[in-house]
Structure 1
C-alpha cells in the first residue's frame, strides 16, 4: 500500500512473552497507516505498483457476487489479533535485546533459517498464481485477468522487476549483502553447510501442502482452490508488513546498542528498508486481487486459508524466538 499518512506509533506491549518491548522497537496501530521509507534507487526499490480493482463490464450482472472490501478488511483484522503477531513481537523483542557477548552465536542460525524462509515464499507466490490461472473456463475473463495483474507484481518485485524501470538487484542479492554485512561471512558458506534448515523447510512444506490442495482437500472446484490461494497470499503479505517493519526496528535497536559500539555497525540496510517500505503495498495488492475474483460465498474459504498461514507462520517465528533465547 502506498499510503503517505504518518503512522501512529506506540511501544509494543508483548502478548505472550513477559518481557517488555524496548522503547526503540515500535509498531503501527494499523499495518496500513505508516510513513513510507525512502530508499535509494540503487537496489530494487519498491516503486509504486499498480493496483487493479474491479471493472464493470456488460455481463457483470450474470456473474457471481464478489466478496466485499469490508469483508476482506474484517478478515485482515482477525490477523491483527492472531498467533503470528504474538510470535513476531516475541521474536523482535529477543532480537533487539540480544546480549553484546552472545548475539553473533545466537543470530547466525536464525539468519540461516531466514535465508531459506525468504526464498521459499517465491514458489508459494507462484503456486497462488497457478491456482488463479487454472480457473480458466470457470471464472470471468476480465476478473481473472485483473486478479493476475495484481498477483504478479509482488513476485516480479522479488527479482528486481518494477513497472517502467530497468531490472534492479533481486531480493536474494539484497539479503546476501545484508547477511555478509551483519555476520562478516558469505551467505554461501551457511547454505552449503546446510541447504535446508529445519524450521524454514517445515514451513515451506506446510505452505506448499496447503496451496497444492490440502487446504481445501474436500474440494475439486478450481474456483474454491483459487480463493483459498488468494486468501493465503493475502495472509502472507499482510503479516509480512508487521514482520519486516518490526524487524527493521529491532535491527536498528541492536545496531545502536551493540553493533555500532563494538565497531561493527550495519551499513547494508537496503534489504530491510525495501521490505519495510513495500510490504504494506503488497498487502493492498493482495487485498485487491481477492476483491476482483473471490466470490462472496467463499468468505469461509478465505478465512481458513488466512488462519492456516497464521498457524504455521507463528510456529516458525516462535522457533526463531526460541533460538534467540537459548
Structure 2
C-alpha cells in the first residue's frame, strides 16, 4: 500500500516487536524505523495505509469510513417493526483492525442468543453463532476488503437478522478466482502488506484456511452451510443459525414438492441406485429434489458412515471434486 497523504498518524512498532520474536527473528534486531520500513508500515518516512490500519492511533481521522457498521434487526428483512423501530442495536466500530475486530465480536456476542445445555450435570452455554466462525468472517472482511481510492469511503457492514448473520465488504473475490475456489485454490492476496503485518501481530494468517474453518463450524454447530456471494465488486457472507433451519421445510423440499413424501427409506434407496456411478453431492441432491445441505446431513454422511457409500477421494473428504459411489456392502 502506498504512503498516505498525511503524517499526522504515526504507526508505533511496539506491537510488531512484541509479536515478532518467535516468528520473525530478524526484526527484533532492527531499530524502530527499520522495523516500520521493512514491514511496510512506513514508506518514505510516511505511514502507509496498512501501517495506519494496524498500528495507528486513530486511522479514521484520515479515512472516516474505514470502519465497521453493525446493526441487529428483529426479523429476516431490514424493515421497521410494529413500533417503527428499524434496529434492535446499532453501533459503529473504529480504530485499528484489531480494535474493530474485537468490537464487532462483542456486538455479535451481545445481540446473539445463548442456548443452555445440561450435560452430566454441568451447564454449557452454546452461542447462537460460534465465535471461531464469526472471528474468521470479520477478519477476512477486514483483511481482504478493497482499500483502494474508490472504496475507502465505504465501511464494512455487519447485519444480524433473526435467522442469519451477514457480513458485507467492498471488493469481490480477488485475482480472477470464483467463490467455488474459496478454501480450495491457492489464491492471490489483494492487500499483501496489510496481511503480513496482521500475521506478525498474530491477528490473522494467510493460509487460505478461513473459509474451511467457517464451513466446519457451521457443520459442527448443526446449521446449514454458509453462503459466499461475489457480486458487483463486493463480497457477502451469510452464516445461518438454527432458526433458519427451523423455518425451512423439514426436508428442504423443492417448490411444489410434497413434504411428506417420499419416505426417507425410499430416498435412500433412490440414492443407492443413482450412485452405481460416482456422483457429486450436488448431483445427488438434485436427483432426490432436496437442498445440498439437507442431503449431506440427512443422507450422504449417514450412508457413508454406515458403509453404504464410499468416497472417490477418501484422503480429501472436503474436496469440491469429491464423488460418492455405491459400495459392495450396500
Normalization by structure 1: what TM-score?
0.24
The structure with the greater share of residues assigned to helix is 1
Pick the structure with greater CA Rg. Answer: 2
Q: Which has the higher contact order (CA 8 A, sep 6+)?
A: 1
